[in-house]
Amino acid sequence: AQKITQTQPGMFVQEKEAVTLDCTYDTSDQSYGLFWYKQPSSGEMIFLIYQGSYDEQNATEGRYSLNFQKARKSANLVISASQLGDSAMYFCAMREGALNTGGFKTIFGAGTRLFVKA
């Protein structure tokens, strides 16, 4: 069963507008973490924002915020005031159970490609 679902393969947004990228997850763990990463066309993976499962407030980092709805198991990324440089692939990821020899398992969604129009 897919643990991280990103249902929007591609999204368009007008420059300076806000956009929401959807992410739903599935886990039976009580303690987990949710991440968003950006992958521009140059290929590197850039960490954007983190939300812990016990965090009561939604995480924010500059123009990025994470709309965390625990009961619905969703962790949508909101980008405010889109810029041309926001055009990229965006991946939602979830850290859940511990791995055999320590550390944690992080699972990535298939990604959403965002196009920002001038």
Binding site for other proteins (CB under 8 A): 4, 33, 35, 37, 43-47, 50, 52, 91, 93, 95, 99-111
Chain centroid offset of residue 23 CA: 6
For residue 5, the minimal CB distance to other proteins (Å) is: 11
Nearer to other proteins, 46 or 84 (CB): 46
Nearer to other proteins, 79 or 93 (CB): 93
Q: Cβ neighbours of residue 114 under 8 Å, at least 6 residues apart?
A: 10, 11, 12, 13, 19, 21, 79, 86, 87, 88, 89, 90
The rounded distance, in Å, linking the Cα atoms of 78 and 26 is 20
Nearer to other proteins, 19 or 93 (CB): 93
Q: Amino acid identity of 117? A: K
